[in-house]
């Protein structure tokens, strides 16, 4: 019983440990100290670079740095002007182009960015690359990694509460009955969390990063209309290959294009305000 009480108190604390995402204002759960996130990020980033083929001193590498720096300036300007400067504490921005056929890019906590060369045929120009980097940087700004880790901790706590409660409820039952209850919770719990918790929330985070990224690329002086064009190219390339949205951690290309089109008028205000 003491274990149940301790776990329930931990969950109550978790629910109250909320922050708000810049621009969208969405409340989020943040439990992992920022210093811990940055330390893990910087270590993993350096290990990745040490074992990867980093492209330097080329036009494409210079473009990655140039676009990344413009996005950084836009992000810092917005964050510092809107009371979110604390989220940038400890950031040490880096931009690297890595030789790989993967059509991908990412940004780790602390502004550690990697662009795979395989995505450049799809970005095609600086505005296309700004779409990608704006999106990836937004994951770091919105602390999506910390949020996922925090929610995983809470989900694990809930599962433990369920297992302990099942043990108490079936204490007078046969060992076979107790085993069946524990197995049902141990198998069904993670699956329920995966399909009705983790994946839907991951899709929401991706959409949120699209939203923030569209604004940041506009603030950096890149036409937001190019984001629509980029995702249309991606949709054409992945036609028939993507899993059903319910089973994916990303929204469908059609959904994200439609969402970006709805956000475009607001993004254009930021873009036109710079011109």
What percentage of residues in the chain have a pLDDT greater than 90?
59
Task: List the one residue out of 206, 217, 207 whose CA is nearest residue 266.
Answer: 217
Exposed/middle/buried for 265, CB within 10 Å: 0-12, 13-18, 19+?
A: exposed
**Which of 29-38, 107-116, 122-131 bottoms out in mean pLDDT, i.e. has the lowest?**
29-38
Q: Which residue has the tokens 């502004």?
A: 111
Annotated catalytic residue 89: no
pLDDT in the model for residue 5: 37
In contact, 199 and 247? CB cutoff 8 Å: yes
| pTM of the predicted protein model | 0.78
CA distance 102 to 112: 18
CA distance 134 to 160: 38
Contacts for 243 with CB less than 8 Å, ≥ 6 apart? none
> Is 171's pLDDT higher than 90?
no
pLDDT in the model for residue 222: 97
| 169 or 271, greater pLDDT | 271
pLDDT in the model for residue 148: 87
- Helices 126-141 and 199-219: crossing angle, nearest 10°? 120
What integer best gives the mean pLDDT of the chain? 81
Encode pLDDT of 125-160 as tens digits: 999 999 999 999 999 999 998 998 888 777 665 444
pLDDT in the model for residue 200: 67
Please pick, among 94, 126, 136, 226, the residue that the annotation labels catalytic. 136
In contact, 123 and 97? CB cutoff 8 Å: no
């Amino acid at each position: 019983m003491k274990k149940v009480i301790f776990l329930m108190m931990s969950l109550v604390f978790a629910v109250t440990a909320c922050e708000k995402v810049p621009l969208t204002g969405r409340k989020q759960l943040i439990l992992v100290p920022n210093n811990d996130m940055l330390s893990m990020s910087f270590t993993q980033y350096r290990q990745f670079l040490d074992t990867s083929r980093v492209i330097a001193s080329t036009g494409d590498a210079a473009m990655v740095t140039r676009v990344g720096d413009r996005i950084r300036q836009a992000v810092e300007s917005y964050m510092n002007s809107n009371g979110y400067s604390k989220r940038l504490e400890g950031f040490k921005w880096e931009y690297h182009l890595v030789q790989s056929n993967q059509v991908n890019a990412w940004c780790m906590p602390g502004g550690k960015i990697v662009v795979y060369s395989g995505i450049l045929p799809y970005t095609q120009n600086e505005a296309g690359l700004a779409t990608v980097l704006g999106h990836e940087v937004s994951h770091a700004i919105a602390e999506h990694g910390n949020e996922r880790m925090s929610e995983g901790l809470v989900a694990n706590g809930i599962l433990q509460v369920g297992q302990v409660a099942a043990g108490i409820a079936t204490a007078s039952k046969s060992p076979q009955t107790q085993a069946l209850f524990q197995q049902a919770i141990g198998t069904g719990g993670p699956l329920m969390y995966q399909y009705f918790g983790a994946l839907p929330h991951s899709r929401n985070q991706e959409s949120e990063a699209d939203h923030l990224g569209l604004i940041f690329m506009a603030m950096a002086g890149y036409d937001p209309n190019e984001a629509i064009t980029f995702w249309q190219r991606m949709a054409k390339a992945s036609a028939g290959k993507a899993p059903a949205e319910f089973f994916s951690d990303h929204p469908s290309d059609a959904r994200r294009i439609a969402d970006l089109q709805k956000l475009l008028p607001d993004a254009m205000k930021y873009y036109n305000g710079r011109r």
